Amino acid sequence: MASPTPIPRALLLIGLAALALYPIAGDVFYVQLFAKIMIFAIFAMSLDLLVGFTGLISFGHAAFFGLGAYTLMVLSPEYTAASLWLSLPLAVAVAAMAALIIGALVLRTSGVYFIMVTLAFAQMLYYFAVQSKVLGGSDGAYIYVKPDAAILGWRPFDLGNRVHFYYLVLALMIGTYALLRTVLRSLFGRVILGIRANEQRMRALGYPVFRYKLAAFALAGGLAGLAGYLEAAQYGYVNPEFFGWQESGSVLMMVILGGIGSLFGPILGAFALTLLQDFLSDEAIFHGFHKHWLLPMGIFIILAVLLLPRGIGGFALGLGRRAPEIADD
């Protein structure tokens, strides 16, 4: 197993140290913003498992993000807290199960059909959320009390505390990174990389390609559910836009712009894109034009596609190589 190129590894450790130390001296606003970015980093890494490593371009990954978020909402009693230890695994399980079912359908298609069909399924859930009175309809619903981390009366941390929440998200982001890295190094990872490179050959070698792709789809869905759960817990609020195609689109942008096929890339993409959005929509800088921040964002995306074909990560660090090196020996 070759280690990632030295620069990113050093950068990764420095970045991690900076993130771990930030809340000690940092501004409350940025503690919240960074927590949100790390949630999106989890979401983006989960999508990269499909886009970058399995070769499946999903444009409906928000379906599972939304399911994780709505599961927390449904499990939260109105005036008391849901247990973190119960609701979080359940949210992940619901998202993974849904991914298993939807995956069984969408994986019958490939290429551009796959892009359209994943989008259509996410849209189906979107309409379901809009029309369901139980789920709050188009207005969404509030989660008044944050999940409770107490085990048998002992409460190791408090999600209502921004700094505690920040560290939980940081730990889960590192955990997701480690999990995906382990999975990609395992035999399973080798097989899905093989599918990405040449599906016919893997089939000829006797691998049940469909089952591997489905397993990757379910794992990615479960992790997207985790991200959705955290996002809902952070803001205490869900609405159908969690399923929205803007959500799927922006996470796909994070993956592609960060550099596909490297787990580090999506994290970078999540930071770059969210910070750019935060900057462009800053009223103090853009006086009134900040409302139209999507215009410079759109121009930025188009220029990035035309000028940086390997993404920001690929551009800056030579990371987003077409053949992912993370699983090379």
Partner 1 sequence: MADGSILLIQVLNGVQYGLLLFLVASGLTLIFGIMGVINLAHGSFYMMGAYIAFSLTELLGNFWLAILIGIPLSVAIGLGLELLLFRRLYRRDHLYQVLLTYGLILIMEEMRSLLVGDDVHGIAIPALFDVSIRLTDTLSYPVYRLLMSAICLVMAGLMALVIQRTRFGMTIRAGADNREMVELLGIDIGLVYRIVFAAGVALAAFAGMIAAPVASVYPGMGNQILIVSFVVVVIGGIGSVKGAFLGSLLIGLADTFGQVLAPQAAGMTVYMLMAGVLLWRPAGLFGRA
The amino acid at 1: M
Residue for token pair 């096929």? 261
Q: How far is the CB of 193 from partner 1 (least distance, A)?
A: 17
For partner 1, the binding residues in 156-175 under the rule CB under 8 A are none
Report the residue number, 17 or 302, with the smaller CB distance to partner 1.
302
306 counts as binding partner 1 under rule CB under 8 A: yes
Whether the Cβ atoms of residue 286 and residue 280 lie closer than 8 Å to each other:
yes
Whether the Cβ atoms of residue 45 and residue 263 lie closer than 8 Å to each other:
yes
Give the H or E element holding residue 238. Answer: strand 237-238
Among the listed residues 302, 318, 323, 328, the single contact to partner 1 using CB under 8 A: 302
Pairing between β-strand 237-238 and β-strand 141-142 as defined by DSSP bridges: antiparallel
Question: How far is the C-alpha of 2 from the C-alpha of 256, rounded, in Å?
Answer: 23
Rounded (10°) CA dihedral 302, 307, 312, 314: 140
DSSP-assigned letter for residue 242: G
Residues 6+ apart with CB under 8 A from 185: 1, 326, 327
Among the listed residues 309, 318, 323, 328, the single contact to partner 1 using CB under 8 A: 309
111 counts as binding partner 1 under rule CB under 8 A: yes
For partner 1, the binding residues in 234-263 under the rule CB under 8 A are 245, 249, 252-253, 256-257, 260
Please list the helix, strand and coil fractions of the chain in percent, rounded to the nearest 5, in that order: 75, 0, 25
Pattern 259-298, partner 1, x by CB under 8 A: -x-------------------------------x-xx-xx
Q: How far is the CB of 122 from partner 1 (least distance, A)?
A: 9
Comparing CA positions, the residue from 30, 1, 51, 19 lying closest to residue 265 is 51
Question: How far is the C-alpha of 24 from the C-alpha of 213, rounded, in Å?
Answer: 42
Among the listed residues 31, 100, 130, 150, the single contact to partner 1 using CB under 8 A: 130
197 counts as binding partner 1 under rule CB under 8 A: no
In the chain, the N- to C-terminal Cα span, in Å, equals 4
Among the listed residues 5, 32, 83, 123, the single contact to partner 1 using CB under 8 A: 123
119 counts as binding partner 1 under rule CB under 8 A: yes
Report the residue number, 122 or 149, with the smaller CB distance to partner 1.
122
319 counts as binding partner 1 under rule CB under 8 A: no
Whether the Cβ atoms of residue 234 and residue 294 lie closer than 8 Å to each other:
no
209 counts as binding partner 1 under rule CB under 8 A: no
Report the residue number, 115 or 232, with the smaller CB distance to partner 1.
115
For partner 1, the binding residues in 42-101 under the rule CB under 8 A are 51, 57, 59
Whether the Cβ atoms of residue 191 and residue 329 lie closer than 8 Å to each other:
no
Residue for token pair 């927390």? 72
Q: How far is the CB of 254 from partner 1 (least distance, A)?
A: 11
Q: How far is the CB of 65 from partner 1 (least distance, A)?
A: 17
Question: How far is the C-alpha of 227 from the C-alpha of 96, rounded, in Å?
Answer: 12
Number of residues that bind partner 1 (CB under 8 A): 42
Piece of 32-40, 82-90, 112-120, 187-195 that binds partner 1 (CB under 8 A): 112-120
Please give the residue ranges that form the binding site for partner 1 (CB under 8 A): 51, 57, 59, 105-106, 108-109, 111-113, 115-117, 119-121, 123-124, 127-128, 130-131, 245, 249, 252-253, 256-257, 260, 292, 294-295, 297-302, 304-306, 309
